[in-house]
Structure 1
Amino acid sequence: MSRNAIIFHGTGGSPDVAWYPWLDARLTDRGYRVERPFHPRLNVDPVAEFLPGVLASHAFDTETVLIGHSGGAALLLALLEHLETPVAQSILVAGYATRVNESEEPVLQEAYDWDRIRANAGDLYFINSVTDPYGCDANQGRFMFDRLGGTQIIRDEGHFGDYDQPYDTFELVDRLIP
């Protein structure tokens, strides 16, 4: 098996913004096969309708590293719950598991099978900020950590990339991936 990584962008985003292309290049240089799918309907379509297409579009195995940012990190929760095989590592950046503001959040499920997510997540990291403008903050990271374990990393770095927050590199995420 070869190592592969899938980087999921956030709500309203694309695979070519923020630190995603930079991380892709770093991982590719280390021998990873990297995918940065474009999911324009992320957090628009209900996750129950959206998820089957995501599952069918990628191969997941014990050498897979999943990285999700914001809505992409929320998607990872549903994805991990429905995988047939565990992955090596899951990194949720500015992730959340409950509604964080007044916006509808169709990427969220009503409930989660935390045991199944934990069993499939591999080496699990939550990276959240105390100053996230959307509410994808350290409290959300703690909520997930309390249910799943893993490692919670709390920073003071906004949303880790946004339309008004250039974030072209993300050394921390690069260092977490072997």
Structure 2
Amino acid sequence: MSKRAIIFHGTGARPTYIWYPWLAERLRARGYTVEVPHLPGINVEPIETFLPSVLEAHSFDEDTVLVGHSGGAALLLALLEHLDVTVAQAVLVAGYSTPPNTNEEPVLQPSYAWEEIRRSARDLWFVNSVVDPFGCDAEQGCVLLDRLGGTLVVRPEGHFVDDTFELLDRIIG
């Protein structure tokens, strides 16, 4: 099997934004096949109708690494809950499982099967900031850690929108 990574961008973003292309190139250089799909419907369409198209568009196996940022990290929760395989790793950057602010969050499910999510990734990482302008902060990361286990990294880096992200390159196996 070959190593594969899928990077899911955040709400209103594109695959060419911030650190997404940088990380994709770093992973390709390490032998990964990398997908960075453009998902304009993320956190716009209700998760109930959006998730099936994401599941159908990608294949997942025990060598797959999933990376999600912001709305893409919230998408990973639903994705992991509905996978029928256990992926190698899931990294949720600025992730959240409850509304982080007053905006509508159609990417969130009303509830989660936490045990199913936990079983769907061998290695879970949460990277949140002390203070996040959108509310995807360390408190949200602590909730995910409490419910799922794994590793939480808290950094003072806002919403993680720089062009490079060395920490992710080190986290991904």
Are 1:171 and 2:166 an aligned pair? Answer: yes
Question: C-alpha distance in 1, partners of 2:25/2:52?
Answer: 28
Structure 1 segment 1-178 matched on structure 2, within 5 A: 1-161=1-161, 167-178=162-173
Question: C-alpha distance in 2, partners of 1:147/1:121?
Answer: 14
Deviation string for 1:43-86 (max 9, x for gaps)?
Answer: 00000100000000001000000000000000000000000101
The letter for the 1-side match of 2:172 is: I
Question: C-alpha displacement at 1:28, in angstroms?
Answer: 0.2
Structure 2, unpaired ranges of 5+: none
Question: C-alpha distance in 1, partners of 2:7/2:23?
Answer: 9
Find the residue that maps to 1:90 and give its secondary structure. Answer: strand
Aligned structure 1 segments of 4 or more residues deviating by more than 4 angstroms: none
Question: C-alpha distance in 2, partners of 1:47/1:121?
Answer: 20
Deviation string for 1:124-145 (max 9, x for gaps)?
Answer: 0000001100100000000010
Cα RMSD (Å) = 0.4
Question: C-alpha distance in 2, partners of 1:131/1:113?
Answer: 28
Deviation string for 1:92-118 (max 9, x for gaps)?
Answer: 000000001110000000000000000
The letter for the 1-side match of 2:36 is: R
TM-score normalized by the length of structure 1: 0.96
Structure 1, unpaired ranges of 5+: 162-166
Identity of aligned residues (%): 63
The letter for the 1-side match of 2:110 is: E
The letter for the 2-side match of 1:86 is: T
TM-score normalized by the length of structure 2: 0.99
Question: C-alpha distance in 1, partners of 2:121/2:114?
Answer: 10
Deviation string for 1:132-170 (max 9, x for gaps)?
Answer: 001000000000100000000000000001xxxxx0100
